[in-house]
Amino acid sequence: MNGTTQSPSLETSSPTPAPRPRLLHWAARLVLIAACAGTVATSELMSDSVFSPEFVGEPVTLTTEAPQTTRDIVVRVSSTEKHSDVVEANVRASLVARWTPADPNEKTRPWIRVSLLEGEESSESRTVQTFPPASDTQEYEEFGSLDTNCELTGPCEWLTHVRFEMQPDGPRGTVRFEWKTMADAAVRGMDEVPAGFNVSISAP
């Protein structure tokens, strides 16, 4: 092979070779990194997302005395075709929060916070803090990705908690949340949605 049979010809034939432009060396390293990245960062086929019907939760009311509560929802993904491919699911909650102060002359607003939690996960993981709303009504959305370690070999199910909080030591009053959730799911590694692929969201 070449590596073992060639003589050290470069050094003998050109004892003072022109210095290789550094730019070329760096270009080679750059392409090397790009090629490594291109090899490792292979794309994943992903089926189109399938959305669940909307789940409208019962309105939630928080008070200064009871500033926190949680509602559970269950996201289910099933398919009549069994696959070892991984399901990727998301859930989003759309909320309208209305603040009613105990004292009509109260001008300050409490902060409110809604978190989508999966399983027993701590509240630090997915929390969006909202600051005192400028008006008495505030609309927003909370989005969360669910654990993706679920294969379509059977139905996938995620228990998700929607946690509602208001400032416990803030101005006295109530916050009423109207909320609805929707889930979507797709299958990693598939370019088409498998037969009988269904996503639903409901109360437990």
CA distance 114 to 12: 74
Phi, psi angle pair for 61, to nearest 5°: -120, 130
Of residues 31 and 102, the one with the C-beta less far from other proteins: 31
Of residues 155 and 189, the one with the C-beta less far from other proteins: 189
- Residues within the interface to other proteins (CB under 8 A): 1-4, 6-13, 17, 20, 24-25, 27-29, 31-32, 34-46, 85-86, 121, 125-126, 145, 148-149, 188-189, 191
Query: What is the closest distance, in whole angstroms, from the C-beta atom of residue 70 to other proteins in the complex?
Result: 18
Query: What is the closest distance, in whole angstroms, from the C-beta atom of residue 125 to other proteins in the complex?
Result: 5
Of residues 87 and 97, the one with the C-beta less far from other proteins: 87
Query: What is the closest distance, in whole angstroms, from the C-beta atom of residue 162 to other proteins in the complex?
Result: 17
- Asked if residue 192 lies in contact with residue 81, where contact means CB atoms within 8 angstroms, the answer is no
| Residue 148: Cβ-neighbour burial (10 angstroms; 0-12, 13-18, 19+) | middle
Query: What is the closest distance, in whole angstroms, from the C-beta atom of residue 111 to other proteins in the complex?
Result: 18
